[in-house]
Every structure is written in structure tokens, then in C-alpha cells.
Structure 1
């Protein structure tokens, strides 16, 4: 078998490994996109239910179940521009909360995202505040607190009051802003005859793990910031194995989903002990408590905690960070390349606010990057021209020293030096594109600003794969192909654009390399099919601009289009 044939066979084997092996590992280490929000059926776009949605959005039985639980306790309503829900006066818990601005699906009549639910209801998830009973007798969990007002809203706090038989009076004041932040002031007045130790606590409890699993790319589950660092290392399985504890001054802890967050933010000037622990029936709890303070008779002690429950909107998280919540925008799992992803997101978000369409914003982002890298592309083409000019000499050296690979490499390197050619220079634009491409991938995957953002026509969510595929005759056949097989229209356009781009590239002299370049567009089409449409639009736009760029640069380097001299 000749060397060229061996190269072709090797490439074919690698291509098969990529096509069939890659889907098996991508969801674990490199999740491609959000789940589809639509499918094409009978030639029409149909909204899909959200598989990760709260059951109350779809199940009448679950709605009645939660309604029955909510009716067990008198309540204070929560009404803000972004939140609706209630506080249970039995136990003083925030256990009923929906996010008005975010829907379960893209349907106009879709239910809002439900974040918190009371204990005893499906997917229980709530926050509670109280005092440890080590020498102090706080109100029991079934005590009904007295409320100062029926509604909690921005600018209108609500006070809950209770007392014990030993002469201590307890007050919890809830306030809320027009975002997702509650301020909780816990006060104890010691009207008894002896000093008492006071140690307030806050907790967040939930049943079950998140439906979006934690992966190598995105962390979901317990999260904290302590001792100056953001901690993504603790997973639900670690909590199952044993309580995870830390002590810090400043920081926060809670549960971070892909898009949603609950976080307890204690007094940043006081030390506190934080922990994640597991209970029965797959229940998990994040809680904190500072060291106890001895409260003399006739004195009062107040501690303040902030509680965040809402969507991980980047600009809002950053505004809370400026208000003293350390590393709060790290609740979005930017990953190792945060220093590159955050500017990409900021610019893309600014473009979106300018034009009102994230798809158009992605195209404008691509234009910007292409304009900035145009001088580098010019140098790349100049390098390619020089490489093409010395191809005959390289071929002669390869033939002359084909039995001595070490000497062959030495002679080729000497040729590069003699002709002042840098073979790596042509790779620079590609290397620059890699971090940009990965940054956009992460931005589409982890930022809620991209969730359910449409482009036009059948593309209703840029963070999900293209639902329109010829595999089922564009929805005319009554079956939905698996995601790795559902090659949509946009990925096909990506493959076509890459094909024409490669056709304009200088053709390599080696036949095996020609075969590789001929197959590469179609291999990439299959690999990219499950990824977010927004990422594919970036690549298609980049390919089209590269084709235009090549046309311009070919006019400046005509030697690239001519066959090299023998």
C-alpha cells in the first residue's frame, strides 16, 4: 500500500471515529446546545413542552396538590415586577415563587418558571430563617407568625413577629427589591431575666437534583464563594457521601442551576459556618450560622441576610456584586476562559440591545472580528503565497531524502530559513478563531440572555439545534430523528459554505491532503449539527466573509491561483 493510500485509509478511520464516537462523549464533556424548543411536524412549527419544567406547568393534578399545600398556611403575598408568590406564616418560609419574565416554553400562553415550592408539594424548594436552639428557645417550625401587612413589594417591607414563653420576642423583617434580592433582618429582644446565646441561621432546602445535569462544561448543584474563591467542586453526590463544610468571613452559598440560582448571603463582616448536607428522600440543604452572641436582658440583637432567588441575568448579578456580594457573577459558570467570554458576552449583549435580534447581533459580532483580524489574514495569504512558491523545492527534497526522515526535516527547515518562510504563520487566523468560537459556544450555552432568543422563520431559539431537517422530509414524515442524525438546514448551509471556502484555498500538492480537505466540510457538517444554531450562524457568516476576503486577497497575491512551477 502506497503512503498516499495509507493516509487516506487513516483519515477514513479517524472520520468514522469522530462521526460515531463523538456523540457518545459530547453530552458528558462537551454538551452541544439546549434542548430543542420546537419541532417541524406536518410542515408546521410546533412548540415542544419543556422536559425540565416544573410539573405544575403541565399537570392539573400537581397544580391541585400544590394548591392544597399552599392553603395549609396563612400567607403574605409577594408582588414585584419580576416575582410572584408568597411567604408562609407557618415557619416564616419563602416557599412559593415564580419568575414572571421567564417562561417554561416559547408558547405565548406558557406558564412562568416556578423556582420555589412548599414542603410537601412536588419538587419542594424553599428558604427558611430562624435561630439555633442551643440555649435559646426560638419559635417552633409550626408556629404561625403575625404579619404587619398582607403584601410584600418593593419599598413595602413586611414584619413577622412571634414570642416564646421565656420572655424573648422574635422579629423577621422581609424586604424585596425590583430584581430578585430579598433582605431579611432577624431580631431577638431579650425581655427575660438571664442572658441567652443568639445564633441566627438561614437555609435553602430542595428535593432532588437539578434536571440539567452537572457536566465538565457546566456546573449545576451546590455552589459557594468562601475564603475569596468560587467553589464549583461540590456536587450532589459529594453531599450524599457526607456533609460538606467550610468557615469563612464574607461569601455566600446556595444552589446553582443552569439558569436559576438561590443564594444565602450572610453579613459580609462576620465569620460564619456554611455547609451542604443531605437528608432523606433525596433532600439537600445549604445553610449557614455565625458563632453565637450572648444577648443580655433588656437588649436586642439584629442580623441581616440577603437571599437571592431568580434568574442568573449577567448584568443584574454584576450590579449585586457592586453592592457587596463577592464574585456574584461567577454564579454563571464561565469556566477557565472567563476573561475572554465576558467581553464577548458584553459586546454581543450590547449589539442585541442595539438591533433587537440576537441572530443579527451574532452576525455583527462576526463582522467585527473579521474586520479586526483582516491584517492577520493578509499576512496569512502572503505566507501561503511564499509556501506555494517553494513547493517544488520541498517536493524535490522529500524525494531526495525519502529514506532519511531526519535529514529530510533538516533540509526543509534550512529551506524555510533560506527563503525566509514561516510555515506556522498561515495557522494564526485559525488559532485566533478557536478561543472566539469557544467563548461564543459557552455564552450561548450558559447565559440566560440567549435562552429562547429567535432569529427568523423556523429558528425560534438560537441556543438550541436547528429543528428543520431533510431526514424526516422537513417534518412531513411522522418521526423525530435523534439529535445526532437530525442534520438541519443550517448545518447543511455550514457544510456548503465550508466546501466553497476550501475550494478557494490553494490546493495542496499531496493527494492524501486533497482527499482530507474534500471530506472535511461534510464531516464538520455532521459534527456541528447538534450544536446551537447561533454557533452555526457565526461559522456560516465567518465562512462567507472568508470567501469574500479570499477574493480580495487573491487579487493581491495572484500567484496563489497559479500552479507552482516544476
Structure 2
């Protein structure tokens, strides 16, 4: 009786540590999910606004109306299948960019994402090209353009000439995605040599509103050859961090977006990340060696600027086709990249096959279970053997209940004699842990999973389940705190785990029995804040496991008879 009380106390302490300590640990190491995009009120699904997505004049702290700022300077319009916006001819800045493929929210009338905004408006964020040197154009130079629209297959050349006769040109083109190419030309029409150093830059007024997390890094990023450095926002100083390289790039990553300056990969440059006295963040690529242009001659250099969504296939194509090293790692895959990317590509292929990412996750689960089927058969045989041993184990417990060391020795001897491995049942679950972690990273990292619906009220598989019985599925006029707002899908997960545990052999130790009895409901609370897509994977896996057990019982009736005995 004393031992049972001790076990119960230990179990209660363990349960409390898991239930209350896990949210603290997971908040840092395993961010649970993307913010919810919908909420249930009055039995209706309502869209949650996303105020950080578009810094308009209505945003708190707005400097001036964004539309007024855009109208103050001459501009060249941008229009491609993926992008809209304009180029500021004053300073040759790319400071107005809209991502056509992505909306702020899941609402049907939601505006698209505004990635770049001009100086003077809230959330100023822009990039550009230029030169250092005497007579070079500056931020106040107003350029002329050869066209009024920059589009796919429609490049535009910006040009200006100074009083000494030097002509500066920037020939801009853009591909079908998010890569701008700038061919910078200096033609010396004067009578004396000139010395210039071309540069490319990106500047943002404030750090990203997205949280910088252990599993989803956000902030300044620099690649030097094959080495990449992710800087914390607070690490950026006015003096700046400088990196010398020939093959590299620098920029800023948000959770789903990226701006990156990519210098000529044959020219030695200094990549610098710095913070101004006013708190603005900047990334710059400046040629290390000055270019001397003789009278009557010209110098040309080609650079690139990426501004857009971190789509997996797009970044992989840039890394492979353009030789931009590690730009695919702007998506923070981490150590499990070798497993995460194959899972993403297979999941994406399934999605294109069935048209629903939730169904694709279920098919992914089925694939994993089929691959693990031989191991699961051994697991099932071990479980059946353990069930058949229950009478003998209980007899040993009665015989050696006062001698715990002897009991352990006799039980191990029983396992050897009956050729049963009590740990075999854990192997399939252990093998699935890396898969589940990789899927978790895919769900929270890839923009392809953003705002992907499943069925009914589930409008985003990368966010938690918004429907909970705590407020009678939204009928009661209050929003429960996240700690108790257990959604319908997590409840189904707990039920599926409880049913699965009921089919497994009961452990001999009473404390283990208590742990297994409460574990499904504890995991229900633990998993509730995670992405619905991860819960769908786990539920499907549990259902397939139970179906597999039923099928194996039909194929091997002797196992069922042994279990019954």
C-alpha cells in the first residue's frame, strides 16, 4: 500500500511537470503553430485580422499616408504574374512591392501582402542600386526611364547624366517570380578618368514583426561562400558587421518573406549589416576594389535583388540555376533538412494530385505506415506475446512482491525464455519521431502550407484548431485562454490514442498503468496548440495502427487465442 502511494505521488508529479512545464519548454524549442487565422464566435467562423501584414495609413504610428508618399515622386510601374508595385525614379529605389499570390488573411476580399514600402510611410522597406565616387548619383537624383512598365520580358533602363558628362544606367529586368536583375553601367563621357564602386542595398525601418524562434529563424542573414550567419536583431550595431566574399549574399528574412542583395558572384565585395542611429536596419554589398573608367570607356556590372516569398521550389531553382549559394536555406530547415525537404516535395506532389493538403497529409501518413509495415508486424507479434505472458507475470509479481530486484531478474528471464522483447512495441513510434518533427517543421516553415484549408472550420492547417467545446463551439460569448481551449481535432487525437493504448498489453507495474491511462489526455493538452496538420498526421497514424492490428488478428487467429488465454 505504501509503495502504491509512492508511485501515485511520483505519477502526479510527473503529470504536473508535463502538463505545466511543457508549454514553457515548447514555447522556446518547439513554437507550437502559426497564429490562428480564424475564430469561432456565435457559431460563425470569423477571420482574424493581420495588422502586421500591410503597413497602411490606418496602422498605428503611421508617418504619412502610403498612397500620398507614392504619389510624390515619378515612378515606373511593376506588373508581373507574381508582383505589382512601382520603382521610385527619385533615388532609383524599389520601394513599392505587392505580392499578388499571397493575401493578408483568408477572407475572400483580403488585400494582398505589401512587402516593400517607401520612406516616409509606416514600415518603410526598400532596396536599390548605385555607385560610390565623385559625380555619382545619390538618393536625391531623379532618373529618367525608357519605359513606363517593368514586366516579364519588358526591361526598363533608368539613366542619368551628371555635369561632367558621365552617364549612369541601370537596366532592370524581372523574372516570373521575385528576382530583379540590374545591369549597372558607367559610361565616362568626360575628359578625365573617374573612380567608382558599385553597390546594392536593402533598408528597413524596423525589425520584422515575426518572432525569431529556435526552429524558425527571422532576421539579418549573410552567406559567405558556403557559410551562413543568422544574426539576432539586437546584435546589429551602428558600426556594422562586415563580411568579405566573392560568392555570397545578404538580406533580411521574415517568416515567409525574404529580401536579399546578390552581388556579382565573380566580384569581391564587402557585405555589411548595420543599424543606423535612428534604428533602421541595412544590408549593403559594396565592391572591394574601385573601378577606374577611362574617358570614352564604360564599365558594366550585373547584380540581383530578391524580394518576395520564400517558396521552396523557387529558392531551390535559384540555388541550382543561378548558382546562388544557400539561398534555399533562407527557409530555416536546420539539422533535419535531409528529411524535411523530401517530405515537403512528396507532400507537395500529393497535394497537386488530390488538391487538399489535409488529404495529402493523410496519404503521407499511409505511405509512412506502409514503409514501416514489416517493423509493425514484429511490434504486433511482441505485443501479442506480452499479452499472453500476463498471467505468468502476475504470478511472478505475487511471488516476489517483497523482492523487487529478484522480480526484475525473473521477468527478464521470462522474456528470454518466451522470446519476447518488451521494447519492440516502441520501435515504430521511435522511427516516426523524426518524421513527425520533419512534418512539424514543414508545416510551420513553408509558405506553401500557409492558409491551406482542410475541411469545414479548418481554414489553415499550419495553425491550431479554432473550434473548442469549452465555449460551446463559439456559442458562448467569450474566448477561452489558449491553455484550456482544446479544439475538436486535439480531442479526436486524445480519443484515438486512448483506443490504441486499450488495444496494447497492460503493463505489469501499477505506476506505468496509471501513466498510460492518463497519457492520451495529457498529450491532448500538449498537442492542442500545435498545427492541425500535425494532429491530422498523428490521428491518421493511430487509426491505421488500430486497423493494422485488426487485420493481423484476422490473418493470425492464433495470436488472438493466445491473447485471450
User: Once structures 1 and 2 are overlaid, which stretch shifts more, 486-495 or 379-388?
Assistant: 379-388
Aligned to 1:526: 525
Q: Is the 8 A contact 2:53 2:104 kept in 1?
A: yes
Note the residue ranges of structure 1 that are not aligned, 5 or more in a row: none
Aligned to 1:119: 119
Shift of 1:457: 1.0
| Equivalent pairs, count | 561
Note the residue ranges of structure 2 that are not aligned, 5 or more in a row: none
Aligned to 2:190: 192
Superposition TM-score, scaled by structure 2 size: 0.94
| Aligned-partner Cα distance in 2 for 1:194–1:401 | 101
| Aligned-partner Cα distance in 1 for 2:122–2:183 | 29
Q: Is the 8 A contact 1:363 1:541 kept in 2?
A: yes
Shift of 1:347: 0.5
Aligned to 1:478: 477
Deviations 1:99-126 (A, max 9, x none): 0110000111111000000111100000
Judged with a 3 Å threshold, the aligned counterparts in structure 2 of structure 1 residues 400 and 152 are, in CA distance, closer, same or farther, namely same
Aligned to 2:304: 306
Shift of 1:191: 2.1
Judged with a 3 Å threshold, the aligned counterparts in structure 2 of structure 1 residues 196 and 418 are, in CA distance, closer, same or farther, namely farther
- The answer to whether residue 352 in structure 2 is matched with residue 364 in structure 1 is no
| Aligned-partner Cα distance in 2 for 1:266–1:49 | 37
- The answer to whether residue 368 in structure 2 is matched with residue 374 in structure 1 is no
| Aligned-partner Cα distance in 2 for 1:60–1:223 | 28
Q: Is the 8 A contact 1:5 1:512 kept in 2?
A: no
User: Once structures 1 and 2 are overlaid, which stretch shifts more, 246-255 or 390-399?
Assistant: 390-399
Aligned to 2:329: 330
Shift of 1:61: 9.8
| Aligned-partner Cα distance in 2 for 1:115–1:225 | 22
Shift of 1:301: 0.7
Shift of 1:403: 4.9
Q: Is the 8 A contact 2:131 2:198 kept in 1?
A: yes
Q: Is the 8 A contact 1:391 1:564 kept in 2?
A: no
Q: Is the 8 A contact 1:82 1:100 kept in 2?
A: yes
Q: Is the 8 A contact 2:51 2:59 kept in 1?
A: no
Aligned to 1:503: 502
- The answer to whether residue 99 in structure 2 is matched with residue 99 in structure 1 is yes
Shift of 1:443: 0.6
- The answer to whether residue 232 in structure 2 is matched with residue 235 in structure 1 is yes
Q: Is the 8 A contact 2:238 2:274 kept in 1?
A: no
Judged with a 3 Å threshold, the aligned counterparts in structure 2 of structure 1 residues 328 and 104 are, in CA distance, closer, same or farther, namely same
Shift of 1:413: 5.0
Aligned to 2:65: 65
Aligned to 2:213: 215
| Aligned-partner Cα distance in 1 for 2:522–2:196 | 65
Shift of 1:368: 1.1
Aligned to 2:173: 175
| Aligned-partner Cα distance in 1 for 2:522–2:356 | 30
Aligned to 2:45: 45
Shift of 1:419: 4.4
Q: 1:204 aligns with which of 188, 191, 202?
A: 202
| Aligned-partner Cα distance in 2 for 1:61–1:559 | 70
Judged with a 3 Å threshold, the aligned counterparts in structure 2 of structure 1 residues 468 and 401 are, in CA distance, closer, same or farther, namely closer
Aligned to 1:288: 285
Shift of 1:224: 2.1
Judged with a 3 Å threshold, the aligned counterparts in structure 2 of structure 1 residues 503 and 262 are, in CA distance, closer, same or farther, namely same
Q: Is the 8 A contact 1:99 1:114 kept in 2?
A: yes
Shift of 1:252: 1.2
| Aligned-partner Cα distance in 2 for 1:238–1:34 | 25
Shift of 1:198: 2.3
User: Once structures 1 and 2 are overlaid, which stretch shifts more, 445-454 or 391-400?
Assistant: 391-400
Aligned to 2:163: 165
Q: Secondary structure at the match of 1:56?
A: coil
Q: Is the 8 A contact 1:385 1:557 kept in 2?
A: no
- The answer to whether residue 10 in structure 2 is matched with residue 10 in structure 1 is yes
| Aligned-partner Cα distance in 1 for 2:190–2:547 | 83
Shift of 1:557: 6.5
Aligned to 1:34: 34
Q: Secondary structure at the match of 1:97?
A: strand
Shift of 1:371: 1.4
| Aligned-partner Cα distance in 2 for 1:459–1:30 | 22
* Counterpart mapping for 1:391-402 below 5 A: 400=400
| Aligned-partner Cα distance in 1 for 2:196–2:532 | 55
User: Once structures 1 and 2 are overlaid, which stretch shifts more, 286-295 or 2-11?
Assistant: 2-11
Judged with a 3 Å threshold, the aligned counterparts in structure 2 of structure 1 residues 57 and 39 are, in CA distance, closer, same or farther, namely farther
Judged with a 3 Å threshold, the aligned counterparts in structure 2 of structure 1 residues 6 and 401 are, in CA distance, closer, same or farther, namely closer
Superposition TM-score, scaled by structure 1 size: 0.94
Judged with a 3 Å threshold, the aligned counterparts in structure 2 of structure 1 residues 348 and 22 are, in CA distance, closer, same or farther, namely same
User: Once structures 1 and 2 are overlaid, which stretch shifts more, 420-429 or 40-49?
Assistant: 420-429
Shift of 1:39: 0.7
Q: Secondary structure at the match of 1:365?
A: helix
| Aligned-partner Cα distance in 1 for 2:277–2:73 | 24
| Aligned-partner Cα distance in 1 for 2:376–2:561 | 17
| Aligned-partner Cα distance in 1 for 2:238–2:7 | 50
| Aligned-partner Cα distance in 2 for 1:404–1:374 | 37
Q: Is the 8 A contact 1:218 1:333 kept in 2?
A: yes
Judged with a 3 Å threshold, the aligned counterparts in structure 2 of structure 1 residues 209 and 60 are, in CA distance, closer, same or farther, namely closer
Q: Is the 8 A contact 2:384 2:563 kept in 1?
A: no
